[in-house]
Amino acid sequence: MSHAFSVEMKCREHVKNMSLSKGAQQRVLFEGCLGELEELSLIEGAVLEVKGVNGVLRIDLSEDELRKICKKMQGKK
């Protein structure tokens, strides 16, 4: 299953790096600093939202998928 995401930054100064490669691998890199975390929530049970003082990261990840991946990670410890 494919998952979409978005990153919304409040100010350019918190963006560390953003690059789009024209090479064969066509990689994309976006780095920044969300700052101190303020909130973690699931919007309508389908979008994980991580809010920081400098911005917001959102990924379409259901509660069930999040639980499965957490359970899988705990099994690796």
* Mean pLDDT value across residues 16-34: 84
Structural domain boundaries in the chain: 5-75
Position 2 scores a pLDDT of: 80
pLDDT band for 40, please (50, 70, 90 cuts): very high
Q: Which two tokens stand for residue 9?
A: 């930054």
pTM for this predicted structure: 0.79
Q: Is the pLDDT of residue 39 over 80?
A: yes
CA 18 – CA 27 distance, rounded (Å): 11
* Mean pLDDT value across residues 29-35: 91
Q: Which has the closest alpha carbon to 15: 66, 74, 57?
A: 57
Q: Is the pLDDT of residue 36 over 80?
A: yes
